[in-house]
Every structure is written in C-alpha cells, then in structure tokens.
Structure 1
Amino acid sequence: MLEPHSLMMDLESELFNYTAGRFLYASCIFANDAHHFRERTRVFNIPGLFNTIAKAMNCGTEQIVDFRKLAEGGFNRIFLITLDTDFQLVARILYPLLVPKAYAVASEVATMDFLRSKGLPIPKAKTEYILMEYVKGTNLSQIWSDLEEDEIISLMDQLAKVESSMMSISFPAGGSIYYARDLKELSGNEGIPLHNQVESIAFEKERFCIGPIEQLKIKSVLFAGAEKDLAYLNQFGAPRVPYECFRMEHYNNEKQLPSDHIENLGRYLRLAPSLVPDDDSLSAFCIRHPDLTDSNLRVSTDSGCLQMLSVLDWQHAAVLPLFLHAGMPKFIQNEDDEVSKDDQDREGELLRRRLVHYHYNLSTATHNRIHHKGLGYFATDGATCPVVFTEIAAAEELWQALANAKRGERWLRDFVAYGEETWVPAAHYEAAKAIGQEVKRRTFKACAEDEEMTKETYAVIEANSPLDDMNEDELEEYK
C-alpha cells in the first residue's frame, strides 16, 4: 500500500517542484530562473488527491499502488497513478502562474468531455484536479523526425479527418465551453445552452454551454482584444523597454511610451471590419485545438502502421469564427527553409518538412474543404483602406532593422540551444549557461576593440546584454 501522507513530508520533492528544465536569463521582460521556478512550485494535498481519485474510480485509496510525476508542461504538472488492477490514469496539477485557475480547469474539462461525446479521440476527463484516463502509446514528438513518407501521408490524412469532424460541429456563439452548472457556480451566469449537441446522451442535452453569457458577434470577436488592451494602456500604460533586448538599439536604447502601441491598436480597430470575409461559411463558429503540436498527439505503431490514438492538452480552447481558426499547425508549417543543420541532415529535414506541409494541405483539401478554403482566405477586396500611412521609408528601415535583430536572436538561440523564454533541459543548463557567458565575453571584447565605439555606447550595450538576469526590483516593475 502506498502511504500518501509520507509523500507530503519532503516539500523539496520533485512532486511539488519543477525539474524538467531551467531558464537561462531574463530577456528584458522574461523572469529569472528562480522566478520561473517559484511560478511552477505547487505544494498540493496528496491525501486529498488520493481521496478524489478513489471517489472518481469507486475504489479505496489503498488500491493506489503507484504515484509518480510523468511530465511537466507549460502550465501544469502531470502525474501517473496506477491502481492494483493495473488500471492507470493521469492527474494534472496546475501551476500558480495559470490564472484564473477555476475557469481554466472548468472549461478544459467540459471541452474535452463535449468533444469526446462527439466521437473525437479525446481522453476522458474528470475534475477537480483534472483526472484523465491514461492513453498508452507514443508521443508523436518522440518519432516525428524519423517518419517515412508513407507514415507522413497516413498521419496527415488521419489528422485532417479528425479536424474535419471537430470543425464541423456548429455553435450558436463564440467563447469557451463549460458545464452549465460550473459556469453558474463560478460566475452566476447561465451561459448559452448547447441545445441538441449531444444526441447520444438525451437526458443531458443542456449540460454544456458557451460562456460568457453574451453572444459574441463576428466583429465583436475582432474588436474585443484590442479594446481591452486600449482600456488597460489608457489607464495604466507606462514606458517600457522593447519586448526583446535585441531590439533595444533600434529604439535608441530607451524605454518607449505606450502612445505608439495605442496608435497601432487604433489603426487595427479601423481595419478590423474589413477583415470579416464575404463568405458566410468562413464566419461560422467552430472549435479547434488551441496549440496542436507533435507532443500533443499520441500515436501507436503496434499494428505495423501509424495510428493516431488521442489529442491531448485542451487548455485555452475556444469557439471562434472559422476564419480566425484557419491555419496550419506550427509544427507542420514550412513557410521558410531555414534549418541550422549540417548539409546532409539539412536537406533531409527540408524534404521531410515539405512533405508534411504538402500532405497536410492535400488531406485538408480532401477531408476538410471549409478549412482549406479558410487557409486561402483574403480580406475583402476592392474596399478603400481606412488607414493611411506616412513616412513609409522610415517604417521600412525600422522593419528591416528589427528583422535583422530577429535573425540575431535566432542565431543566439540556435548557438546556445535554448527554447521559448530561454528554456533548456535541466541536464543542459550548466553547459548552455557557459556557452552564453562565452558569447557575452566575446561580444564585449569585440566592442572594446572597436575604435569607433564611444564609452557611452559601450556602457549602454553592457547594461542591456540579453544574457543577463534582471534583478527582482526590475521584475516587479514589469509585472
């Protein structure tokens, strides 16, 4: 018998703390490694979780024979639970950085249950911790780079069929899916019932709803985010450094007033009405996976052919107009051919990426024609542009400079080998940190030897190195 109380003794245990990776530095607004660690530390009640599992599985807590951390994602920690019957399930514990937790959990569980009821390959989920059935198989990310062409063709065909089934479900409004009882408890609102959406469970036809209660019209969807940002900036806007340190020199190494961003948001709001397509079918509300990646697809090769088993991770899934959902998943896109590899490996990788891109597009055209139409959607033709730009040459010069800065950041990322928010695997942290410090040393040495560089410019470069952490006072300033 596994004793849950004994697992609570060590608060430094990997059960409560982030161990999958480290963060190299704070790139202007990114937090320090220690700050990231605190955001992902979550001490939870293990005996309480065991009681919840026992209640959900109609068993005793003494039947839980194994409990271990399985993986760590961007917003949650995943645990594998094994019962004495050999049945396995997964528990997901959210990090403190995810807010608002109650809405996020309630919506994700309801979304998974709703899509599962429509026959889609989604794990069965329960709340309050988010308990899900454990889907055996292999994460596609583990074999993605080794797929043969016939496997790519088969997988893209299966994926297009799943997306077609998902995106063909009609909705009366935009928003997030909830259980009606959960939304009522969380917000006091009834939501918009999803009538006749779950024909196979007749007595529960109205258990799902769309929240918030207001039915979003198409133009409202386009306006809402910009209007929210404008309201915030007008009340709380303050000078900020550019999002990426590599851009600072192109903004005179100074904090920028929010007025430029406010002006751009105003331009967007004038353009937004022209973004609504004339084809009404592209404005129909539908749902799609919010972040489809190779790590969110579970596959099997047991039968000798690649079989897609399940689609994981439905946090932040939303019902939106189809033209806003349309697009190729990032891990399938091949819009540029930049790959940092040796020549032979590079050519093989380019060929694989082109095959994936081509066969996803072909399968989507075959099985999901409305999405394929959305992939080629353009805004209304023939209308007079409501925005007039001046000083085009200066804007073009800045754009080129920022593009160069982006290439510099990409080079550093590839050279040091870090991911989003400077994440690296824990085992690679010390080596990556050393490489980064050596790049910094060589950069400063080259600057010091540049006869045309003034002391003032050198001081600015030294103070804004992209490989330095921010102190805690600076982190508070950017919250």
Structure 2
Amino acid sequence: MSLFQSPLLCPLFEYTSGRWIYNESQRLAERRLVFNVDELKKATATSVNRPVSDVKSCRKMAEGGFNRVFDISMEDGSSVLARLHYPSTVPRHLAVVSEVATLDFVRAHGIPTPRVLAYSVDANAVGAEYMLMEKLPGRPLGNAWFNFSEEERLKVLHKIVELEAKLFAIKLPASGSVYYARDLSPGTLRIDVPGSGDGLCIGPYAALRWWSGERAGLDIDRGPHDDPCLVLKTAAEKELAWIRAYGRPRFPFLRAYRETFDYNKQDPVEHAWSLLDYIQLAPYLVPPCSKLNQPVLRHPDLQPNNILISEDLSITSLLDWRHSMVLPTFLAAGIPDMFQNYDDEESMSFVPPRLPDNLELMDEEEQARAREQFRRRHIHFYYLSFTQRMNEPHWHALEQDTGLLRRRIFTDASGPWEGLNTPLQMDIARITQNWSNITPVKPDGTVPPCPVVLEEQEVRRRAALAESLQEVDSEMERIHGVLGIASDGWIPNESYERAMERAALIKEEGLCEVSDDAWLLGMTNRHWPFDDWDEDE
C-alpha cells in the first residue's frame, strides 16, 4: 500500500462532509472506509476498457449514511463514479446486487438512472464492495429546491410525478426487492419478473429494517410474497423473532422521550403483545380492491440530493436506489417526505393554499413563518393535484380514507424496536376506533368483530402518551432549528462550533429550570439529548 493510501493519512477513507454535536466518534467510525485506491483505479479503467494510465485522479465527491461516492476522472475529461458501501451498511451482499438490478430495471422503463459499468460484492482487490457507474449530467436539486420560485418548484414537481407514474405502471409479480437471479445464492426464494428476459426476479426484502443489528442473523421469512397479508404479517413476525432472541428492557432511543416515561426503561414484552395484536388485525388491513394490492416499486429516498436536474430544470437522474422494496400499492403509496405536510390540517383537506391576507402587516419573523407554511402547503397540494391527473393508481390509493393509518401501522410494526412502545399501541387503538371503515363488509352486510378489544381507559392512556410525545417532537424540532442540526445531530462543518456553544447554553437553561428537584436534575443531566451517550442502554 502506497503512502497515499495509508489509513492514517488518506482523507478518502474518512467522513469529512459534516460533524455531529453528540456521539460523533461513533458516527465517524461507522463511516470509516479503508480500501485500496490503486486497485479501485484499475477496476475503473477496466470497466471502460482503458489502461490504468488513463486514470487522472480519484476525488471524493459525496458521502452519506451508507456509502461514499468518488469521481474517478480520465485524461480525456470523462468520469466514472465509484460508490463504495461502508462496512456498517447492511445487508452487505444484497444491498449492492439489489440496487444494481433495480437501476437497470427502472431505467428500462424510462426512469433516468446511471448505467452500472461494473460491481463487486465478493472478496476483491479493492478491499470493499463497490459499484462503478456512468456520470450523468446535472446538479443535485439540493438546497436550491427551497429557494426556487413557485413556478420552478411546480416544474420539477410535475416531472417527478410523471416519473412516478411510470413506476406505478410497471406490472410486478410479488413484493420483495429486485435482483438478477445470478446474484442470489442457490436456494434463495425468488419469483421471476415476467417478460424481463434478462434473469430479473423478485427476491428477499433488501430494506434496512429487515437486517439491522442482530436481525441479519435471524432465520426468518424475508419474502418474496405474492400475498399482501403475508407482507403485513411477516414484517411483525421478524420483530417478534428479534425480541424473543435479543430483546431486553431499555430506554427509548430518542432521549428526549425519556422524561415522558419518568426515566423508566421500556419492556420489549409490551411491544411483543402489540405485535401479536397487529398480526391478528393484519388480514383485515388488506383492501378488497385488487388494484390496491398490485405490487409497485418506488424510490426509497426521494430527497433533493438524490435528484439531478439540468439548467432547464429537467430531471437527468434519480440516484440512490439502495434498500428499494416492492410493496402492495396500498402500502407503497404516500407523499414523499420532501413534499408532504401531513401534520397540517389544511393540507389534509386538499384545498388550494394561499398566503394570509394580512401578510404585509406581519413582522419579519411572522412573515417568514407564514411563507414557509405556504411553501409546504403549496407543494403538498400540487403533488396531490399532479398525481390525481397523471398517476391514477397512486391517486386511488391516496384518496382512501384509512390509507394513511394502514401504512402507519405497517411501518410501526415492521420498524426495529428501539425502546418505544407507544406508536404501535396508538395505531392499534386507532384501528379499533375506525374498525367499521377498515374491514370489508361481509356479503350479508355485517362487519366482522374486531379481534382486538381495548377498554376506553386504555385508549385514553395511549392517546395521552402519544400527545405527550408529539409535544416533545415539536419542541425538539424547534431546538434543532435553533441549533441548525439534523435529527441525528449532524451539522455542516462550518456551523459546528457555534452549534456547540448554543447547545451548552440550552443545557444550562434546561438544568436551571429543574434545579430545585435533585432527582429530576440528575435524570435530566444524565439523559440530556445533546450529550454523548451509550446508544445500547
């Protein structure tokens, strides 16, 4: 290994795109990736039938939570993008091969994605799993999205919905993830994609929720599934298997929630009971309409940095299809996070938004809040409006009264348990309260009885806890805005020192508020949300 490749000296191996105001050493360790730079150059040159002497440079281009992207430029000015997964990214093999197949599959159906030139998931000279891809023109939508005019936002939004309509039009045989059959080990369950002609199939789910932590070692059913009820049930059975093997009482992972529970550890057995209740409800959550059960593939993380645009605001590529899943339409539906405004009552009513009539009379801060609220409502409304016009299958799923509740309970039942029981408990309570709208009516006109019965007192208890957690969420969102950090404590390098100073002041004020109660002062200090902490406690 050359001096340039020394793990102690090479910045290519370290995460440098930002900092964290707490548990930074752990986040950096998860993203440290040591590999053989010279061998990566050789593999890149081979992928484009060039001698390695044609490789001019290897430059780190971007890095996220799961991988790092390098721009490997040639003497003639052309470039190849190399994406290397961090050692902590799971599932190790399936995450790469599924994304390779997914990129090829969606591109064949008119979705702009980079062409994969080569990939490797086995032991190789590079020393890391990699994908080599063509470099497409365009710039990431990024922060420019938030500064666009209304007309510019709508132009991009319209094109995104057009691309989504193409995805919803693809006929798929089952839920799971997309693979080439050649990349799956013998004996792995798979269902061929009819008419693909190149060995494409639906295989096990590659989504992170199925593989995080010890879940990767569980002997469980991970699909594929051609029965929507199995999609619902196996997601919860996965988490039940993990609780039985590894579950132990722990504090909620989000430390700001701990005061709500009087700083008591939460019992995974309580979550297991909720999962068993959910499994009883699962058969009734499947819609009777066959169109809502049609498997569909969507982009797993449609956020601004994964969308490349040209100068005329055309979409040149949708990037990062890692962890993609095919799900029944009623579960796959939903407004992408960057467009949705579900917490706003006016947005949920699907009415055209407008700025307040008295906007000019507001002070600067009030105007800023009003304009941001309008921006969020504007995007939410027009995403729905464009979807209604161009993507009937998705619109049909979105207009179902209980659609959001079905998706929420599936997400909360399938997500890794991290010391919080309330979300799934509240979902179950809402299902029981909306039972007549959830379950299909029998031929004789009657509604089957709900298999889960909750006392009114228990429903009120769950609702009170959920309301308390929502208040915590609102307060944490406000503090994150003051500090300028993401939900996991990430912040741009240039803002780190100031954020640390502000965080220290906020802690000082917070401790001062509880200083007259010695026990509460100790607990608040021990579980302060913006200090380093043991993530396994």
Could you tell me the TM-score, scaled by structure 2's length? 0.79
Rounded to whole Å, the distance in 2 between the matches of 1:441 and 1:469 is: 16
Shift of 1:234: 2.0
Shift of 1:265: 1.1
List structure 1 segments (4+ residues) > 4 angstroms apart after TM superposition. Answer: none
Rounded to whole Å, the distance in 1 between the matches of 2:377 and 2:141 is: 18
Tell me which residue corresponds to 1:388: 453
Does residue 368 in structure 1 map to residue 359 in structure 2? no
* Letter of the structure 1 residue corresponding to residue 451 of structure 2: P
* Letter of the structure 1 residue corresponding to residue 203 of structure 2: G
Note closer, same or farther for the CA distance 1:11–1:109 as it changes in structure 2 (3 Å cut).
farther
Matches within 5 A, 1:88-107: 88-107=79-98
> 1:180·1:190 contact (CA, 8 Å) conserved in 2?
no
Note closer, same or farther for the CA distance 1:311–1:218 as it changes in structure 2 (3 Å cut).
same
Instruction: Give the aligned length.
Output: 447
* Letter of the structure 2 residue corresponding to residue 327 of structure 1: G
> 1:193·1:206 contact (CA, 8 Å) conserved in 2?
no
Tell me which residue corresponds to 1:319: 326
Does residue 439 in structure 1 map to residue 506 in structure 2? yes
Rounded to whole Å, the distance in 1 between the matches of 2:469 and 2:343 is: 18
Rounded to whole Å, the distance in 1 between the matches of 2:224 and 2:323 is: 18
Tell me which residue corresponds to 2:200: 208
Does residue 404 in structure 1 map to residue 471 in structure 2? yes
* Letter of the structure 1 residue corresponding to residue 155 of structure 2: S
Rounded to whole Å, the distance in 2 between the matches of 1:69 and 1:163 is: 31
Q: Which has the higher contact order (CA 8 A, sep 6+)?
A: 1
> 2:178·2:202 contact (CA, 8 Å) conserved in 1?
yes
Match of 1:236 among 224, 246, 270: 246
> SS state of the match for residue 35, structure 2?
coil
Matches within 5 A, 1:42-53: 42-53=33-44
> SS state of the match for residue 89, structure 1?
strand
> 2:59·2:70 contact (CA, 8 Å) conserved in 1?
yes
Give RMSD over aligned pairs: 2.0
> SS state of the match for residue 340, structure 2?
coil
Tell me which residue corresponds to 1:225: 235
Tell me which residue corresponds to 1:146: 147
> SS state of the match for residue 127, structure 1?
strand
Rounded to whole Å, the distance in 2 between the matches of 1:250 and 1:190 is: 44
Does residue 342 in structure 1 map to residue 365 in structure 2? yes
Tell me which residue corresponds to 2:8: 11
Shift of 1:276: 0.8
Rounded to whole Å, the distance in 1 between the matches of 2:33 and 2:203 is: 28
Rounded to whole Å, the distance in 2 between the matches of 1:214 and 1:395 is: 34
Match of 2:65 among 67, 74, 93: 74
Match of 1:116 among 107, 114, 117: 107
Shift of 1:21: 1.4
* Letter of the structure 2 residue corresponding to residue 141 of structure 1: G
Note closer, same or farther for the CA distance 1:92–1:245 as it changes in structure 2 (3 Å cut).
same
Tell me which residue corresponds to 2:309: 299
Shift of 1:381: 5.3
Does residue 194 in structure 1 map to residue 201 in structure 2? no
* Letter of the structure 1 residue corresponding to residue 145 of structure 2: W
Q: Deviations over 1:48-95 (max 9, x none)?
A: 111111111000111011210111112111111111121112111111
Q: Deviations over 1:351-378 (max 9, x none)?
A: 2222222221111111110101111223
Shift of 1:237: 1.6
Rounded to whole Å, the distance in 2 between the matches of 1:334 and 1:190 is: 38
Tell me which residue corresponds to 1:427: 494
Shift of 1:283: 0.3
* Letter of the structure 1 residue corresponding to residue 160 of structure 2: L
> 1:173·1:215 contact (CA, 8 Å) conserved in 2?
yes
Structure 1, unaligned stretches of length 5 or more? 26-31, 198-204
Rounded to whole Å, the distance in 1 between the matches of 2:93 and 2:313 is: 37
Does residue 413 in structure 1 map to residue 480 in structure 2? yes
Q: Deviations over 1:163-207 (max 9, x none)?
A: 1111211111111111111113xx54373222313xxxxxxx142
Tell me which residue corresponds to 1:22: 19
Q: Deviations over 1:72-119 (max 9, x none)?
A: 112111111111121112111111220221110011011101111222
Does residue 463 in structure 1 map to residue 526 in structure 2? yes
